[in-house]
Amino acid sequence: MNLPSFPHVDMFSAGINALYGVLLARQPSHNRGYTVAGLLIMAFFGGIGGGVSRDVLLGEIPAPIQDPMYPLVCVLMGLLGLAICRYHESKEEEFRTRTLAYFKSFSLPWFAILGAHKALDHNLGICAAILIGLIATTAGGVFIDLFSGVTPEVVRPSEQLVTTAVLASTVYTVLAVVVQGRLSFFQVTLIAVLVAFLFRVLAVKKHWPSIVPLVAPAAGPGVRA
Amino acid sequence: MNLPSFPHVDMFSAGINALYGVLLARQPSHNRGYTVAGLLIMAFFGGIGGGVSRDVLLGEIPAPIQDPMYPLVCVLMGLLGLAICRYHESKEEEFRTRTLAYFKSFSLPWFAILGAHKALDHNLGICAAILIGLIATTAGGVFIDLFSGVTPEVVRPSEQLVTTAVLASTVYTVLAVVVQGRLSFFQVTLIAVLVAFLFRVLAVKKHWPSIVPLVAPAAGPGVRA
Amino acid sequence: MNLPSFPHVDMFSAGINALYGVLLARQPSHNRGYTVAGLLIMAFFGGIGGGVSRDVLLGEIPAPIQDPMYPLVCVLMGLLGLAICRYHESKEEEFRTRTLAYFKSFSLPWFAILGAHKALDHNLGICAAILIGLIATTAGGVFIDLFSGVTPEVVRPSEQLVTTAVLASTVYTVLAVVVQGRLSFFQVTLIAVLVAFLFRVLAVKKHWPSIVPLVAPAAGPGVRA
């Protein structure tokens, strides 16, 4: 399949996910006394972690490494995140967690779509497109969670994070394959983002439960010490 | 070297390792309140984590991403794992740990052999074949352990996990290089699996000790808190 | 840009970083009851973790996998590290931490320079060269820290680890681009190593502070248990 590239969507996606990365890393659940340099690295994980993972799996030199605009956008959004944190530290935690969940709902479909798009572009088929979409969406957060010593959100109850990523990839993939040519790719992207965003906002608002077969604390080795 | 590919062995290996991934993730030592989606992701780690790591290092688009059969097999074996867990939760922990160790003994040589095979196929030599075999064998388990906040088994005393992986890779590599042509690759594979399986079963049964230069609890940052 | 390769510097860098990996993994802060095989794996992480990460990002089959000399050097330096540990276990911890910090100052610029060099060699530009230099320098330590369940040093206050890596990459990149041809690459390398080494030694000696916007214990999930 020969799909057009849309670098602006890619950059936009990197920017909002870099911002989310810093905000997440500054949460009490994740903060481990990070330095400013460390928080900018977290912005990189959020902003280009997904794209780099995707491109490595597809056997390409990662786009965020080839184009110096990506690191620049990540650093700027990282600094913006630090500024936001300075002004909102006073807000109660419940409020911030909630705001962050909604912000995450908006930022997460983009990487899913870009991942699915790139996989289709490599003629890897629908199944690989959804898989790469899921990996691209969650890889950045996995890096941040592992660095913070927290069980990655993707395997824990997390208000339909996995479902939303799979939904965004699937809607994009199916529309891209079915309506090929009748809708512009920007339209297909917007539809997929909208569907996934609304699904996730509802999941956060209504507290849709995840299916957990055996409840255990999301704790690490500390409990075994 | 021009070696035939054997996709069925690859698929078989992915299947039993995906099953092992779910069973391991449901152990009390590893369970962190995983969702069903999270446990299926653990099945993916077990089933294709090793193969993906191997192919990324060899500069290929990972086979498990190109072929939709792999994700399908992982999901099915993951669901089988969930069903087995439901019926065996009542068994005492000692029994399950033991059964799991034997099952692991059977599942681990396959990835070692496939890794060594692929590295030989890329003309990387004996040393690289053993190294890639070791990485392919252990990468999936490392992902599961890190996600669970547990010190990865590969660096801890673990009943000769590393030795077995190196043994399987070495036997396969040496036989493939030495007897080239006289034995079919299926025969060479069976011999390598058998040697490694017997070695590991003996190690589990006889509690062969690992050499630990300085004993410390296999605990994480909790002890420093 | 067509740069000469310098395999001996690469091997030297792998060797001293493998040694550092074992010494770090044996520190009380990192030791989790590692086996000898596990400690040799830590030597591999230190010695070839950075180079493998760099080459995977650049889309190459990692040099340390293609050339059997790298694993050999890592194993030998790992064994040397084990021998050193045996004789120095008696030393008080403060002394060892200090010695290790100076040793790290010497070992870290090399991977930064090799990373920047390879990125320039791929015509990826100055920005990518610095980024790859930073990743190559820190990836090995990140693996060791994550395996040990410790918040990676690169995001924590760590006596200007990130600054030093960026400095080494930047000095090398700028000199390589500006004085192209007038200085030999060995001279450029020595200048970059010297600048970064002196900077880091001063940072360790004078306890130059990192900028930490919000102090929190560098602890993992234990505190949440």
- Helix H, strand E, coil C: the string for A113-135 is HHHHHHHHHCCCHHHHHHHHHHH
Q: Quick one: closest CA in B to A153, which residue? A: B38
Subunits with 3+ C-beta pairs closer than 8 A to C: A, B
Average pLDDT over residues A115-132: 91
pLDDT at C223 over 60: no
Inter-chain residue contact C162 with A61, CB threshold 8 Å: no
A145 neighbourhood in chain C, CB within 8 Å: none
**Between residues A218 and C120, which one has the greater pLDDT?**
C120
Tell me which of B42-56, B205-219, C183-197 is least confident: B205-219
Query: Does B58 contact C at CB distance below 8 Å?
Result: yes
* pLDDT score for C31: 84
Residue C224 — very low, low, confident or very high, per pLDDT cuts 50/70/90?
A: very low
d(CA C120, CA C77): 29
Q: Quick one: closest CA in B to A160, which residue? A: B37
Shortest distance, CA C53 to any CA of chain A (angstroms): 11
Q: What is the pTM of this model?
A: 0.88
* pLDDT score for B213: 78
The two structure tokens encoding residue B167? 């043994």
d(CA B197, CA B204): 11
Inter-chain residue contact B150 with A221, CB threshold 8 Å: yes
The two structure tokens encoding residue C39? 């400690």
* pLDDT score for C134: 94
Shortest distance, CA B93 to any CA of chain C (angstroms): 22
Inter-chain residue contact A52 with C56, CB threshold 8 Å: no
Average pLDDT over residues C25-47: 89
* pLDDT score for A99: 81
What's the pLDDT tens digit per position in C57-66? 999 899 888 8
Residue A221 — very low, low, confident or very high, per pLDDT cuts 50/70/90?
A: very low
Share of chain C above pLDDT 70, in %: 88
Query: Does B30 contact C at CB distance below 8 Å?
Result: no
Average pLDDT over residues B199-209: 87
What's the pLDDT tens digit per position in C114-138? 999 999 989 898 999 999 999 999 9
Residues whose CB is less than 8 angstroms from the CB of residue A185 and which lie 6 or more positions away in sequence, other chains included = A3, A4, A6, A117, A176
Residues whose CB is less than 8 angstroms from the CB of residue A158 and which lie 6 or more positions away in sequence, other chains included = A210
Cβ–Cβ contacts within 10 Å for residue A179, how many? Answer: 12
Residues whose CB is less than 8 angstroms from the CB of residue A50 and which lie 6 or more positions away in sequence, other chains included = A17, A111, A115, A135, A136, A137, A138, A139, A140
pLDDT at A223 over 50: no
Q: Which of the 8 DSSP states describes residue A92?
A: -
* Partners of residue B109 on adjacent β-strands: none
pLDDT at A75 over 80: yes
Query: Does C54 contact B at CB distance below 8 Å?
Result: no
Inter-chain residue contact B124 with C66, CB threshold 8 Å: yes
Inter-chain residue contact C57 with A65, CB threshold 8 Å: yes
Inter-chain residue contact C212 with A28, CB threshold 8 Å: no
* pLDDT score for B1: 42
Inter-chain residue contact B222 with A218, CB threshold 8 Å: no
* Partners of residue A180 on adjacent β-strands: A183
Residue C144 backbone dihedrals phi, psi, to 5 degrees: -60, -45
* pLDDT score for A217: 60
Report the b/e string of B91-122 with b at 16+ CB within 10 A: eeeeebeeeebeebbebbbbbbbbbbbbbbbb
Residue A1 — very low, low, confident or very high, per pLDDT cuts 50/70/90?
A: very low
C68 → closest Cβ in B57, B128, B225: B128
Average pLDDT over residues B44-72: 91
* pLDDT score for B223: 40
d(CA A166, CA A159): 13
A57 neighbourhood in chain B, CB within 8 Å: 52, 56, 61-62, 65
Shortest distance, CA B76 to any CA of chain C (angstroms): 30
d(CA A183, CA B147): 40
What's the pLDDT tens digit per position in B73-98? 999 999 999 888 877 666 666 667 77
Residue A70 — very low, low, confident or very high, per pLDDT cuts 50/70/90?
A: very high
Angle, CA of A12, C60 and C124, to the nearest 5°: 50
Inter-chain residue contact A89 with C214, CB threshold 8 Å: yes
Inter-chain residue contact B86 with A157, CB threshold 8 Å: no
d(CA B46, CA B136): 10
Write the CA distances from C76 to A110, B127, C40, C109, C195, integer angstroms: 47, 15, 9, 22, 29
**Between residues A52 and B7, which one has the greater pLDDT?**
A52
Q: Which of the 8 DSSP states describes residue A209?
A: P
Write the CA distances from B54 to B115, B122, B134, B135, integer angstroms: 6, 12, 10, 7
Inter-chain residue contact B61 with A59, CB threshold 8 Å: yes
d(CA A140, CA A53): 9
Q: Quick one: closest CA in B to A152, which residue? A: B147
B149 → closest Cβ in A131, A149, A154: A149
Shortest distance, CA C161 to any CA of chain A (angstroms): 10
Subunits with 3+ C-beta pairs closer than 8 A to A: B, C
d(CA C124, CA A64): 11
Shortest distance, CA B152 to any CA of chain C (angstroms): 6
What's the pLDDT tens digit per position in A127-173? 999 999 999 999 999 999 999 988 898 888 888 889 999 999 999 99
d(CA B129, CA B49): 18
* pLDDT score for C206: 84
pLDDT at B106 over 50: yes
Inter-chain residue contact A122 with B61, CB threshold 8 Å: yes
Average pLDDT over residues B173-189: 83
* pLDDT score for B179: 81
Containing H/E element for C202?
helix C185-206
A59 → closest Cβ in B34, B59, B148: B59
Inter-chain residue contact C31 with B162, CB threshold 8 Å: no
pLDDT at C222 over 50: no
d(CA C56, CA A63): 14
Q: Quick one: closest CA in C to A33, which residue? A: C216
d(CA C125, CA C173): 9
Q: DSSP letters of B4-40?
A: ---HHHHHHHHHHHHHHHHHHHTSTTT-SS--HHHHH
Average pLDDT over residues C144-173: 90
Q: Which three-class secondary structure string do you get for A11-72? A: HHHHHHHHHHHHHHHCCCCCCCCCCHHHHHHHHHHHHHHHHHHHHHHCCCCCHHHHCCHHHH
Report the candidate in A84, A83, A95, A109 with the shortest Cα–Cα distance to residue A168: A109
Query: Does C221 contact A at CB distance below 8 Å?
Result: yes
pLDDT at C105 over 50: yes
